[in-house]
Structure 1
Amino acid sequence: MGRADERRARQRGGRRAAAGGSSGTKPRRSGIRRILNWKTILGTFLGFCLLGMGAFLVLYMVVSIPQGNAAAQQQSNIYKYTDGSTLARTGKVNREIVGLDKVPKPVQLTFVAAENKSFYKDSGVDLRGTARGLLNTLSGKGKQGGSTITQQYVKNYYLTQDQTVTRKLKELVIALKVDRQQTKDDVLAGYINTSYYGRNSYGIQAAAQAYYGKDASDLTVEQGAYLASLLQAPSQYDWGVATDTGKRLVTARWNYTLDNMVEEGWLDAAKRQAMKFPVPQDPKGVPGMQGQTGYLVDAANSALANRLVAQGSAANYEDAKAIVDAGGWTITLNIDKKKQTQLEVAVKTKLSRKLDGKKRRVDGDVEAGAASVDPKTGKVVAMYGGEDYFKHYVNNATRQDYQPASTFKPLIFAAALEQQAKTQDGQDITANTMYDGTSGRAVKGSTIGFAPPNEDDQSYGPVTVQTAMNKSINSVFAQMGVDVGMDKVLKVAGDLGMHTEKLQPVPAQTLGSMGASPLEMAGAYATLDNHGRKVTPAVVASAEHKDRTVTFPNPVGDQVISSEAADTVTSVLTGVVNDGTAQVSVAQASDRDGQQVAGKTGTSDNNKSAWFTGYTPNLVTSVGLFGEVPKDRKDANGKAVKQGTQVSLRGAAGGGRVNGGGFPAQIWAAYTFNAMGRVTAFDLNTTQGAAMEPTPSDTPSQTPSETPSETPTTEKPTTRPPTTSSPPTKTSEPPVPPTTTAPVSPSGTPTDENPTGPFDPNNQQQQ
């Protein structure tokens, strides 16, 4: 082979090597790398952008500005009792349109400062905020702001409060068109005249009257800033009914609004510094809402609004409330008309008629609340919110700012049984377990020191859990809470229906130092009554609208504690009625007719609240009395006391300390024994507690959980509760309670002692 042939052969070999991917050459792309590269990614992105722009242009051309429908949508809401009879009808719109020239310019600017500082400069939309809202809607996260004044006006006047992607896209398009066709003043006027301010007030004129008793033209900058701040959360920020948190938040919002005005040059800084928060006047009831009606309607509206949020029909509670208030709803409540009347009569005869605010100032401080639940269905069959919706706007049945006190103790015992907890010396905690009932005894096994006194600082020595429940001995349940573990106690309490999510697991919670409502306590006890199956009290049975039907979940849920644990608590609580702190008012009630009853009394620190939560197999009712200052005043030392301040009930109706075994238990008995229909007996899956016949195996251990300070007593209870096989037999002669006067409870000590007077259990000084 010549040199030329060799050169040609090498060249051919080199080309084959290159084709085969020999070393030093770039390999050929294969698979997904041949498809995905920066050119295809960029092209795809641009394609989507063009597609989105095209779709938006089509949407812009298709969607037109509709006729304003906000006023037309305002219809009546009809509220019905469970039997179909009408409870109330609402819907007369409280709105008066006023021209922008009737609203002072500085007041106009408060709304711009609060909601949309760039209002006079923007094109009517906030694209970033709208995009965020769309993503939140798609992901189910709800609303996170971003709407301009123009967009909110469009939502109020042209569209609805519904939380859907379609509505948000329409809102965006219509807002762009409105901004082009209307002046900024027209948009602002529309916004402040269509917005909902709470208190059944639509528009600034109605709001000015509702909150300050004046026309919009007479509003000050401070008042305007409050109304503008209110729009973010009317229900939460209404000063007349707001919680401390709500008041703090609206005050911060008010400051934010005024500071924005200074920043924009709309308000002089020196004038701003001199401004004080303008506390609005108290709410006034809507015609037809007097008595208990307003409380029931508000509770129904709240339940429906919460359900709309849960279903995703509204972004948040405020939007849902606007949907409800827009009208057109037929709402059927679970309230039983007959039982509702019976509960109102019981409060009137056992409490209201005995109070005289002209004679005793403390009588004017007494507020009553109650909720009654069917444990088998979860229906709220009756509710007492206060003397009159027009006189006291806050619903005492649902408020959560008073301590439930010793009505929490059964939940501690329930946790002990459910967790199969043991005492510090290794004994199982049962109804017969011995504990040291010495007053002020420091709990053992806790890193947090706690040594609660008993009522009247009385010591009991070693006692069974049954006796401790009957006498409501604080030292026993403080130790039991530590034995179980307070984190576990709060978990079980939460499972039963209490709101314990934010509570700290500290021993002091064993005294019921958290806030709770009668409705909440009725729900927890209903779960016990229902053998451990969760009962979530339901005010509303159904809600229908011309556009939709809202379904509600079954109020009775899954088993949250064992039936044996729940039934053991019930058995023990029959002892509280027959031999404990509720004996005089409930066990000896003339119309008891042998009815078996379980329940627990409670009296909080400084006698600011008094409770009785009790139940029969078919009805659970929680009654609370709360000491509350009805209006601003000065105390005996001349110190200012603000409206709503929690105060002592001591001395009400001319008596001494107001115990849970007094007025609350009397109201409970008068209502329940009249409303229950027939005498029934508990069907309990347990061998423990006062409702069970004693057996040889029931003999309590003689070794207390902690070393006792006194010798245990051997005295037996004065009455023997019946077995579960039949209702108790009514005796012809009721047991005579002791006649000795109880010592006064030290300040700050929860009290639950059985009232001593045979004639008036509420008067500690009567013999």
Structure 2
Amino acid sequence: MASRTAAAGRSAAGAGRRGAGARRPAPRKKGFFDYPRSGKGPIRRWLPSWPVVLGAMLTGVAAVLGVFVFAYATTDVPAPDDFALAESTTVYYADGETPMGSFAEVDRESVPLDTLPPHVSAAVIASEDSGFYENNGVDPKGLVRALWNNVRGLPTQGGSTLTQQYVERYYTGTTTNYLGKFKETILALKIDRSQSKETILENYLNTIYFGRGAYGIEKAAQAYFGKPAAELTISESALIAGIIPSPSRWDPAVDPERAEQRWNRVLDLMVQDDWITQADRDAAVYPTTIDPSSDNTYGGPNGYLLTMVRAESSTAPA
């Protein structure tokens, strides 16, 4: 009897040991998307894992790069805008030398870059795009900063380089929406690779609006100082360059205080970027501009003749 009881005890103990050593059920196999995450706490299970976050970021970057590469490959540089090429027409008397007058849809007269004093282009570069000769047509930091400010509802900023401004005035026309700015950026990159910096700068100076109805540096010099651009001084160049962002509001005849502030800013930047010396800066005197012109181009007998010439030229076959 005792023997049977002992055997039963050994059998029960063995069964207990076998039960304790038995394997637990295998955990549920995770799927490709383990969400909510298994085996995590009540909060962490709803948070994506770092591989998911990293994967999403890489996918987003790849998508953006893909769109950019496609846009760059499929975007062609268009022909210059007709408005950008329009110039003034001068009418002469029968001797072919004495000017009778001029007319134009756009008051512009293009001049070669090498006819201008170096400080003319230096003033514009220092004021508008100090990295013009180093960048590839765009300034990534400037674009990000402008986008961030715009998203936050701060005053709108373009973040445009001189090359982007050139694209806008010479090829695409003014644009303010994000799609237009994206196209402008692509064109700036392509143009920077296909045109020399000198060509871009020359076209920019001959295209930009300087106020007082003047397009291009030549007409601007005449409108503000009554002289050709080839004779502009450092101070005069700094004044003209300073008002480029808002020429109608910052014209010295409209807001002399703001115009002088901009003049000082440009001269300081020219010294900072080594375009001029501190001695040049110290010697600079704020220039006096002439009054805005109010001439009646089509007044008097000459105006009548100009009207006839203009009408005839507009109806002549191309």
Same topology, TM > 0.5: yes
- Please give the alpha-carbon distance, in whole angstroms, between the structure 1 residues aligned to 2:141 and 2:298: 43
Give the aligned partner of residue 452 of structure 1: none
User: Kindly tell me: are residues 72 and 99 of structure 1, through their superposed partners in 2, closer, same or farther at Cα, counting changes over 3 Å?
Assistant: closer
Q: Which residue is equivalent to 2:292?
A: 283
Distance in 1 (CA, whole Å) between partners of 2:233 and 2:84 is 31
Say which of 81, 102, 105 aligns to 1:69: 81
Deviation, structure 1 residue 34:
6.5
Query: What amino acid does structure 1 have at the position aligned with 2:21?
Result: Q
1:150 corresponds to 2:163: yes
> Is residue 2:172 matched to residue 1:159?
yes
Quickly say closer, same or farther: Cα 1:70–1:232, change in 2 above 3 A.
farther
Deviations 1:228-254 (A, max 9, x none): 001021011101122xxxx33332221
Larger relative contact order (CA 8 Å, sep ≥ 6): 2
Q: d(CA) in 2 for partners of 1:39 and 1:70? A: 53
Distance change (3 Å), C-alpha of 1:217 and 1:69? same
What amino acid is the match of 1:219? Answer: L
Work out the number of aligned pairs and report it: 264
**SS in structure 2 opposite 1:170?**
helix
- SS of the residue corresponding to residue 53 of structure 1 reads helix
Matches of 1:28 and 1:289, distance apart in 2? 87
Say if 2:248 is the partner of 1:235: yes
Q: How do 1:330-369 and structure 2 match up within 5 A? A: none
Separation (CA, whole Å) in 2 of partners of 1:63 and 1:42: 32
Amino acid at match of 2:206: N
Which structure 1 segments of 5+ residues have no match? 21-26, 76-89, 291-767
Deviation at 1:36, TM superposition (A): 1.2
Partner AA of 1:208 in structure 2: A
Conservation of the 8 A alpha-carbon contact between 1:66 and 1:158 = yes
Query: SS where residue 159 of structure 2 aligns?
Result: coil
The one-letter amino acid paired with 2:112 is G
Is 1:116 paired with 2:129?
yes
- Where do residues 269-668 of structure 1 align in structure 2 (5 Å cutoff)? 269-285=278-294, 287=296
Higher helix share: 2
Aligned partners of 2:146 and 2:82: how far apart in 1?
Answer: 23
Kept after mapping to 2: 8 A contact 1:133/1:142: no
Relative to structure 1, is the Cα distance of residues 263 and 70 closer, same or farther in structure 2, using a 3 angstrom cutoff?
farther
Q: Which residue of 1 aligns with 2:71?
A: 59
1:671-690 equivalent positions in 2, closer than 5 A = none
Q: CA deviation at 1:28?
A: 1.4
CA separation of 1:29/1:201 partners in 2, compared to 1, >3 Å: closer, same or farther? same
- Tell me the equivalent position of 2:215: 202
- Partner deviation per Cα, 1:427-459 (whole Å, 9 max, x = no partner): xxxxxxxxxxxxxxxxxxxxxxxxxxxxxxxxx
User: Helix, strand or coil for the counterpart of 1:197?
Assistant: strand
Q: Retained in 1: the 8 A contact 2:39–2:45?
A: no
2:106 paired with 1:96: no
Query: Which residue type is aligned with residue 28 of structure 1?
Result: G
Q: Measure the CA separation in 2 of the matches of 1:162 and 1:187.
A: 19
2:15 is the counterpart of 1:5: yes
Task: Pick from 235, 248, 251 the counterpart of residue 257 of structure 2.
Answer: 248
1:216 is aligned to 229
Residue of structure 1 equivalent to 2:35: none
Whole-angstrom CA distance in 1 between matches of 2:144 and 2:19:
67
> Are residues 279 and 289 of structure 1, via their aligned partners in 2, closer, same or farther at CA, if it must alter by over 3 Å?
farther
Letter in 2 for 1:10: A
Amino acid at match of 1:254: W
| 2:190 alignment partner, SS class | helix
1:28 aligns with 2:16: no
Match of 2:182 in 1: 169
Q: Which runs of 5+ in 2 are unaligned?
A: 1-8, 29-37, 88-102, 300-318
**2:81–2:173 contact (8 Å) kept in structure 1:** no
Instruction: Say if 1:192 and 1:204, in contact at 8 Å, map to a contact too.
Output: yes
Match of 2:140 in 1: 127
Does structure 2 retain, via aligned residues, the 8 Å contact 1:137–1:165? no
Contact 1:134-1:168 at 8 Å conserved across structures: no
SS of residue matched to 2:166:
helix
Q: Is the 8 A contact 1:193 1:202 kept in 2?
A: yes
CA contact (8 A) 2:132 2:162 kept: yes
| 2:51 aligned residue | 39
Counterparts in 2 of 1:28 and 1:147: CA distance versus 1, 3 Å: same
Offset of residue 143 of structure 1 = 3.0
Q: Say which of 276, 288, 292 aligns to 1:267.
A: 276
Whether contact under 8 Å (2:138, 2:160) holds in the other structure is yes
Change (3 A) 1:34 1:137: closer
Q: Deviations over 1:84-105 (max 9, x none)?
A: xxxxxx9621100000011101
State the superposition RMSD in angstroms. Answer: 2.9
Give the whole-Å Cα distance in 2 for the aligned partners of 1:141 and 1:208: 34
What displacement does 1:204 show?
A: 0.3
SS in structure 2 of the partner of residue 175 of structure 1: helix
> In 1, are the aligned partners of 2:107 and 2:219 still within 8 Å (CA)?
yes
Q: Following the alignment from structure 1 to structure 2, what is the Cα–Cα distance between the partners of residues 139 and 165?
A: 15
Quick check: 1:69–1:157 contact (8 Å CA) kept in 2? yes
Q: Distance in 1 between matches of 2:184 and 2:119?
A: 28
**Who is 2:4 aligned against?**
none
For the residues of structure 1 that align with 2:151 and 2:138, how far apart are their CA atoms?
Answer: 20
Structure 2 counterpart of 1:183, which letter? S
Amino acid at match of 2:222: Q
Matched AA of 1:209: Q
Bigger-Rg structure (1/2): 2
Report the TM-score when normalising by structure 1: 0.32
- Measure the CA separation in 1 of the matches of 2:245 and 2:298: 26
